Amino acid sequence: MLRGPLGQPGVKTRFAGHETFPLRRLWLRKAYDAVCEDSEAPAPNTFDKDEGIIRFGVGKNMVAAIKHWALACRIIEEDPERGVGALKATPFGDLIFDRDSGLDPFMESLATTWLLHWQIASNFERATTWYYAFNHLNAHGFDRDGIAEPIRLLCAQLDRSRASSTTIKRDVECFVRSYVAKVGAGAVDDQVETVLGELGLMREVSSRSFAFRHGPKPGLPDGIFLFALADFWARRAPEQATLAIDTLVYEPGSPGRIFKLDEDALIDRLVDIERVAKGAFLWTDSAGVRAIARRGEGLPDPASFIASAYPHTKALAA
């Protein structure tokens, strides 16, 4: 079995919901606004296939995709207190998309794209293929079946009989198109609208094969990196006072894995972490063991680092 969450018995997985549409730029704002508008409705039908067509001005499959990506990005979440199917905005959704105080309501900053990539690729329950590819795929180069086949084997181990080979194949195709725009006739929408491809995390080696780009990520803001580090730490080992560098590079769900930072690139960011994190974390190197230590009793709130990635926003200035 795999290390990390996907190796745990009873883990939830998902290989559908996006209707093969990669995430597009305005969808999350539309989903956030719609859920907020319906927050007081006794029986909200925000993403109803009929109402949604009118509300969002798209087809029913795209309505489903908008809901899927908003949930996968943790912009909205289920609200069981209001009943089955009810949804609410998350604190993270408010932080980015609130009309008055949001850091980037129209997704104009690349920082937001990095942030959403982290939210998706760390979300094994709603974006299992994304999580698997970034956290468990070790091959330098791969094709679509190189992702789909181990996922099929994983589903067999987990007894996920509902995840058919066809479903997984479509999920893998959507994953690839999320980071590498389709080329050719009829592909204009993907090239213009696909958001995650802007990060340059994957490249097309040939018409059938792909590779991740490992190494430094100059466009990744320190604030987003620190958020990811603290978020990973809180999920993996909140009681630990230190995390080894190897853990941050190689562990499933780590910043090294999800941002494709190799060891040298990660260390370059960490050696100055005390200054960058304003003392919240410290670099340690004792007896040849390199690690990051937290300062104080508990971990800082991961979200507290995000605003520093948006130095020119109205919200930050306020």
**What's residue 156's pLDDT?**
85
Residues 202 and 257 in one domain: no
Q: What is the identity of the amino acid at 141?
A: G
Q: Tell me: pLDDT of 138 over 60.
A: yes
- The number of residues in the chain equals 318
129 belongs to a structural domain = yes
Which whole number is the average pLDDT over 235-239?
93
Are 221 and 199 in contact, with CB atoms under 8 Å apart?
A: no
Q: pLDDT tens, 271-313?
A: 999 999 999 999 999 888 899 999 988 899 999 999 999 986 5
Mean of all residue pLDDT scores within the chain = 90
Can you tell me the mean pLDDT for 204-227? Answer: 95
**Averaged pLDDT, 136-150:** 93
SS3 36: helix
The verdict on residue 87 lying in a domain is yes
Same domain for 290 and 154, yes or no, is: no
The reply to whether 197 and 226 lie within a common domain is: no
Report the C-alpha gap between 306 and 35 in whole angstroms: 23
What residues does 211 pair with on adjacent strands?
141, 203
- Indicate the range of 9-18, 80-89, 309-318 predicted with least confidence: 309-318
Q: Specify whether 165 is located in the same domain as 274.
A: no
d(CA 178, CA 159): 28
Domain end (from 185, 212, 239): 212
250/114 same-domain check: no
Number of domains in the chain: 2
Are the CB atoms for 155 and 13 separated by under 8 Å? yes
Q: Which of 170, 188, 212 is the last residue of a domain?
A: 212
Is the same domain home to 124 and 271? no
Same domain, 93 and 63: yes
In a domain, 316, yes or no: no
Q: Is residue 317 part of a domain?
A: no
More confident residue, 20 or 161: 20
Does the pLDDT value for residue 118 go beyond 50? yes
Asked whether residue 217 is domain-assigned, the answer is no
Q: What is the rounded radius of gyration, in angstroms, for the C-alpha atoms of the chain? A: 20
Do 250 and 120 lie in one domain? The reply is no
In a shared domain, residues 47 and 115:
yes
**Segment 64-84, tens digit of pLDDT:** 999 999 999 999 999 988 888
Expressed as residue numbers, the domain containing 261 is: 222-309
192, 247: one domain: no
Report the CATH number at residue 298. Answer: 1.10.10.10
Kindly report the pTM of this predicted structure.
0.93
Percent of the residues in the chain that have a pLDDT greater than 90, as a whole number: 74
Examine the domain organization and report whether 154 and 11 are in the same domain: yes
Domain boundary among 179, 212, 245: 212
